[in-house]
Amino acid sequence: MASRMFIRSKSIAFNTLRTYSSSTKLVDVSINDKTGIATVTMQRPPVNSLNLELLTELNGALQDLGSKKIKGAILTSSLKTIFSAGLDILEMYKPKPERASAFWTSLQDTWLTLYSTPYPTVAAINGHSPAGGCLLSLACEYRIMVNNYTIGLNETKLGIVAPFWFVASMKNVISHRESELALTSGRLYKTDEALKVGLIDETAENKDDALAKAEKFFARFDAVNPIARLLTKQELRGETIKELEDRKQEDLDRFVGFLMLPAVQKGLDVYLQALKKKQ
């Protein structure tokens, strides 16, 4: 796991940073030269569904930030009412095995990168965040959610089983009992409900408010030794990271095999048809 971390031995002089902006089709990264805070914005309309291409770009952006002198990174969305609607159903519906394998591997890698970043992370959840959207926020160290939206791992309602590392991500944030009730029922929490159970850490009135509160979160580390902070994060998260790294192929084989089951494909077909009717 240590190979995924970048230990800094000296304090960072943020006033030496230039404003950096790297805009791609699906992910935008900007670094504020005054604060040293990076903002990583998902921008795949209409709902930021996580497909192979978005995940690949997101993972690359997060990895690239590990080599830069930043104070922290905020993960957010360019969309007005959606953080991320989760995994792209079309990646799982009647998939080609090679594409399905690449898609799931990219999701595994993105989670590993985000969960083990050497820099602090905040999810500024400015819209609905079910399933994979919730997973990304759980991988961050702190979650700030705008009022009147929903969040949760609702895979069971789609006929899908949340993998062990999805489950661990939730259990590492809220209680085992609350995780069991939420995961087995596919519960989506409203913002105030998520705050009550600890699924999020703060609420916000709007995206700008969430971003401002994220900056305050990073300020709490101003007087903290960065090496001590990083090693403590490694200690807390290392076991979960190692389990996925050790079981990565097993998890991949299980996912692809599960997708190929006729009952699963039938369920996805029903779900897609229901979406078409709503449109």
User: Going from the N-terminus, what domains does the chain have, and what CATH number goes with each?
Assistant: 12-278 (3.90.226.10)
Residues annotated as catalytic (active site), given as ranges: 87, 132, 154-155
Average pLDDT, the chain: 90
Q: What is the pLDDT of residue 53?
A: 97
Quick check: 82 pLDDT over 60? yes
Quick check: 57 pLDDT over 90? yes
Quick check: 215 pLDDT over 60? yes
Asked whether the beta carbons of 62 and 117 are under 8 A apart, the reply is: yes
Quick check: 91 pLDDT over 80? yes
Query: What is the rounded average pLDDT of the residues 31-49?
Result: 96
Q: What is the pLDDT of residue 142?
A: 98
25, with CB counted inside 10 A (0-12, 13-18, 19+), is exposed
CA nearest neighbour of 9 among 221, 230, 236: 230
Query: What is the rounded average pLDDT of the residues 115-134?
Result: 98
Q: Enter the DSSP assignment of 6.
A: -
Residues above pLDDT 90, as percent of the chain: 80
Helices within the chain (DSSP H only):
52-65, 97-115, 132-139, 164-171, 176-185, 191-197, 207-219, 226-246, 248-259, 262-278
Report how far apart, in Å, the C-alpha atoms of 175 and of each of 38, 169, 181, 182, 244 are. 31, 11, 10, 10, 21
Asked whether the beta carbons of 212 and 148 are under 8 A apart, the reply is: no
Phi-psi region of 7 (alpha: psi -120 to 50; beta: other; left: phi over 0): beta
Q: What is the pLDDT of residue 5?
A: 35
277, with CB counted inside 10 A (0-12, 13-18, 19+), is exposed
Q: What is the pLDDT of residue 24?
A: 60
**In terms of pLDDT, which residue wins out, 85 or 21?**
85
For residues 249, 94, 170, 56, the Cα torsion angle rounded to the nearest 10 degrees is: 70
9, with CB counted inside 10 A (0-12, 13-18, 19+), is exposed
Residue 77: phi, psi to the nearest 5? -130, 150
Helix, strand or coil for residue 215? Answer: helix
**In terms of pLDDT, which residue wins out, 249 or 23?**
249
Quick check: 2 pLDDT over 60? no
Q: What is the pLDDT of residue 159?
A: 80
Q: What is the pLDDT of residue 267?
A: 83
Range of weakest confidence among 15-24, 79-88, 184-193: 15-24
